[in-house]
Structure 1
């Protein structure tokens, strides 16, 4: 399944945050280097600088990313993902949000606020197989 697997990473970095710390955390956890991210500098509503970082990883690198992600997330959060999978999938894409500050502090967790957006894509040809495929892909127990 690695041949068609894709993970898109997107995050918003505010002026008060250290871009280097965030990028260093990505390299430490996932082996994704700074040069793999595209960077857009924007100006916020109150003239505050905002940086948007994007990266897309594919194939074996995406598979390795998911292995690291699922092995480092708390088990209760993987259970929550499994229970809420139908609401997290749209058009064969699984949407997750990773805690930015937790990652900087050395742990991975799913969070809704101040998050790194993850979009995981693998082609699914039969809609009825969508949940099963993502359970298998994330190696979530199907008990």
Structure 2
């Protein structure tokens, strides 16, 4: 099987009642500090929510080396808490579609430097896009790649975060 990370999209919605800098900070938490600012392009769409309230949708798309480094950081952050690993392993099949895996992280916790995989709406959304060159289905190849990465960790070397 030949699988390659193609891109990572990090997005979040800033509601009018939220501090926009904190929303951007929660997105930046998942990007390693060594990524050059020139490699980070943020696009913003001003729109309205379901009830006509103003919202801003922020999106960052990373490719090539910045994407690979960010993938490693996201996996490392996930693996710091065994609950994240267990949650992802348990529901990975529902998070994968057409060569992509969809992750949601608690936006408020990310803003204060904590990583918690969630299913809610007030989140930082991360989509990992893969190019899959294999005879297997794309979803199975992505699932296998993520599970192998999650299994490549020794929980005894860190203190488990309590969120």
For this structure pair, what is the TM-score category when the shorter chain's length is used for normalisation?
A: 0.7 to 0.9
- 1:25-64 equivalences under 5 Å are 25-27=26-28, 29-30=30-31, 31=33, 33=37, 36-64=41-69
In the superposition, the TM-score normalised over structure 1's length comes to 0.82
Number of equivalent positions: 140
- 1:37-116 equivalences under 5 Å are 37-73=42-78, 74-113=81-120, 114-116=122-124
Take 2:75 and 2:41, find their aligned partners in 1: how far apart are those partners?
22
Take 1:17 and 1:60, find their aligned partners in 2: how far apart are those partners?
32
Q: Can you list the C-alpha shifts for 1:42-61, whole angstroms capped at 9, x where unaligned?
A: 13344421000111111221
Take 2:75 and 2:25, find their aligned partners in 1: how far apart are those partners?
20
Q: Can you list the C-alpha shifts for 1:20-41, whole angstroms capped at 9, x where unaligned?
A: 1222344455147596210011
Q: Which residue of 2 aligns with 1:6?
A: 7
Take 1:115 and 1:26, find their aligned partners in 2: how far apart are those partners?
9
In the superposition, the TM-score normalised over structure 2's length comes to 0.73
Q: Secondary structure at the match of 2:116?
A: coil
Q: Does 1:129 align with 2:137?
A: no
The alpha-carbon deviation at position 102 of structure 1 amounts to: 0.4
Take 1:68 and 1:81, find their aligned partners in 2: how far apart are those partners?
16
Judged with a 3 Å threshold, the aligned counterparts in structure 2 of structure 1 residues 80 and 44 are, in CA distance, closer, same or farther, namely closer
Q: Which residue of 2 aligns with 1:15?
A: 16
Aligned partners of 2:12 and 2:23 also within 8 Å: no
The alpha-carbon deviation at position 140 of structure 1 amounts to: 0.9
Q: Can you list the C-alpha shifts for 1:83-141, whole angstroms capped at 9, x where unaligned?
A: 222111110110110111001122111122211111111122321534222323xx111
Q: Which runs of 5+ in 2 are unaligned?
A: 153-163
Aligned partners of 2:7 and 2:64 also within 8 Å: yes
User: RMSD of the TM alignment (CA)?
Assistant: 2.5
